[in-house]
Structure 1
Amino acid sequence: MISELTSLPRPAILAAGALTSAICVFVIIAKARDLGLMQAPVARSSHVRPTPTGGGIGIVAGTLLAGLLLPGGSGQTLSLLLLGALLAALGLFDDWRPLPARVRLPVQALIVLLAIWITGGTAAIAGDSGAVVQLGAGLLLLLGGLWWVNLFNFMDGIDGIAGQQTVMMMISAMAIAALGTPAALESWTWWLMAATASATAAFLLFNLPPARIFMGDAGSTFLGFVIVAIAMKSLVAGWLSLPQWLILSALFASDATVTLIIRYLRGENIAEAHRSHAYQRLARRFGGARPVTLSAFGLNLLVILPLALLARDTGFGLLAVLLVYLATAALALLAGAGLPDHETAGIATYRRLLKR
């Protein structure tokens, strides 16, 4: 049966994945109370009334279905899909009964480590260097991958923000790969990018402001992992460079990292839930998620993507990464990333923090 379905045209498989995602999300919205997937607002929430969560299950189901049906799959690709499903299951359990970091982080680290080994991501960074360099590159990939999975979860805090980031990163990576390596269009990995974007876009129909459902940890950690796995596979294939992926990640990586640093300097518990990310403060300042999510989409499309397209050259790529991260970090600071609502962003505020 599977062999017959894999003969379907790829666009039909993408459509099946998107439809699966939409149906799952629709069912979860209808049955959220019975499933125990209603998220009540608390002091640190960005919503004001109980709202269904766990909509990321639809993204997971749609992406996995398409990934299994797309031609060109292998034992390696099946292993990556299985790891993504395991991480999504962990996130779903965390949605029901929050797990402490001492439980979540080791499991996430093991899953990311296995993905590095399966894809050969270390070789893409370190090349034929010696064992010490290889070990260092593997450690950096592990820490970077683990941070990305978790920051993607942290950044899923207002309607549509994580969904648009996923769609834009996948479409951008697809465009860069297709323009630089036309043969990539025949690869399972390239079409998995399309499947991830399609399943996420179907979820966004219900999640754009004002959201009828939230993604939840199942969806956000799954998407964070899928992006990491796809990035490593594309690096190994030579479709994209590391600077290009760093640029595509800039909006989320800068906001999450600056917020973490400022909260640490303030002496706060950085593992505690909060709503002081730059995007959250901006949403409150501008009266809702819509202007912030649309602005993030516009920046990704009109600024981040063109710069990433130009960053394939290693020399310019590193310079572009530096400039992009300086600019996005500055934007996060101007928005007051890491500060509570009663504090206003400004040089005096940050100077006071540094003197503590």
Structure 2
Amino acid sequence: MAYLLQRLEMWDHPNERSSHQKPTLRGGGLAVVLVVILAIGGWVTPVNTALAYMWLTALALLGWINFLDDRGHVRKRYRLASQIFCAIIVLAALDYSPALILLVGFLLTAFTNFVNFLDGINGLAAGQLLLITAGIALLYGQHNESSEAPQLLVALVFAGALAGFLPFNFPDAKIFLGDVGSVLLGFTCGVLVIWLAQSDPQLFHVLVPLGAYFFLDGGITLLRRVLAGENWLMSHREHFYQRLIRMGWSHQRTSVVIWLAQILITLILWQALEAGADNLWFWIVPTVIWGILFSAIEIKFRKYKTVTA
């Protein structure tokens, strides 16, 4: 894969908003996507052919557009339109009502973009997606007694493929996911959760909160920029993880702290599921933990700005 990306000159050159210092190959997420495509073909097709075909069609379209974006530049409106279209065809294959297609499609598109936005330092997005998919497998495996359920097998393969990629992206990045990787993997993770939640509505309350990091960091930062009158479509360095980097934290330290919070959340949710906790508990836990971490980062960053002003 690295050889092919080099031949295609898929280099990410640093700029004033980058968190890396030297040109690095991008597009490595395609290796993970190819493995997941095989899993979809092998385990989704037999149980839901329509979903499998639309899922693969969506990955092909998103892959083409974001590969072109990694190679040069594709207008944001076209990238967003492709994501919305892909969300619609996948949700239609799951027989969602028009109202649910609008609501869930919005959430799926938002999650896809937030994963892409937060893929900015070594290991962060890939590691978080690994922990989320591993958490999905853990919680679904506990909830569903069948160890051969296709949803569980796809989640395990997804997590395994990410685990195989991570050493090339952390602690030192030899290759980046690229837009083609982060968009496709974020979209696939979202579709996997939606598919699982459709099979058992309770799983919606159990699994969606696993992705709270992307929604909260991405959503809070977006809201903050809109309220400040900034152009929210433009690149920036205002995410919480970027504030840690700006304060001098290393990529490794920043990613590990966020991973540890994700692991803590997953373990608490696992125990809550075992104890038969109320659905509200699954939303409160990640919100409180990420809220504490983000608040601590914000306080520390404001003190840092005051000292360095």
TM-score (norm: length of structure 2):
0.88
- What are the within-5 Å matches in structure 2 for residues 249-268 of structure 1? 249-268=211-230
Secondary structure of the 1:52 match is strand
The residue number in structure 2 matching 1:98 is 73
Unaligned runs of 5+ in 1: 1-23, 123-133, 346-356
How many residue pairs get matched? 304
The residue number in structure 2 matching 1:325 is 287
Secondary structure of the 1:150 match is helix
Indicate yes or no: 2:37 matched with 1:75: no
Query: Alpha carbons of 1:341 and 1:172: their partners in 2 closer, same or farther (altered >3 Å)?
Result: same
The residue number in structure 2 matching 1:199 is 161
Secondary structure of the 1:36 match is coil
Q: CA RMSD in A?
A: 2.7
Q: Is contact 2:108–2:190 with CA below 8 Å preserved after alignment?
A: yes
Query: Alpha carbons of 1:112 and 1:258: their partners in 2 closer, same or farther (altered >3 Å)?
Result: same
Q: AA paired with 2:247?
A: R
Unaligned runs of 5+ in 2: none
Distance 1:312 1:283 in 2: 37
- Aligned counterpart in structure 2 of residue 40 of structure 1, from 13, 33, 45: 13
Larger deviation: 226-235 or 80-89?
80-89
Distance 1:117 1:308 in 2: 31
Query: Alpha carbons of 1:263 and 1:330: their partners in 2 closer, same or farther (altered >3 Å)?
Result: farther
Distance 2:229 2:303 in 1: 16
Displacement of 1:341:
11
Displacement of 1:239:
7.5
Displacement of 1:284:
3.6
The residue number in structure 2 matching 1:283 is 245
Displacement of 1:167:
1.1
Query: Alpha carbons of 1:143 and 1:116: their partners in 2 closer, same or farther (altered >3 Å)?
Result: same
Displacement of 1:313:
9.0
Larger deviation: 59-68 or 209-218?
59-68
Q: AA paired with 1:180?
A: H
Indicate yes or no: 2:235 matched with 1:235: no
Structure showing greater radius of gyration is 1
Secondary structure of the 1:156 match is coil
Distance 2:44 2:36 in 1: 14
The residue number in structure 2 matching 1:273 is 235
Q: AA paired with 1:47?
A: H
- Aligned counterpart in structure 2 of residue 298 of structure 1, from 260, 276, 284: 260
Displacement of 1:218:
0.7
Q: Is contact 2:168–2:174 with CA below 8 Å preserved after alignment?
A: yes
Secondary structure of the 2:107 match is helix
Query: Alpha carbons of 1:241 and 1:330: their partners in 2 closer, same or farther (altered >3 Å)?
Result: same
Q: AA paired with 2:280?
A: L
- Aligned counterpart in structure 1 of residue 30 of structure 2, from 54, 57, 65: 57
Q: Is contact 1:176–1:240 with CA below 8 Å preserved after alignment?
A: no
TM-score (norm: length of structure 1):
0.77
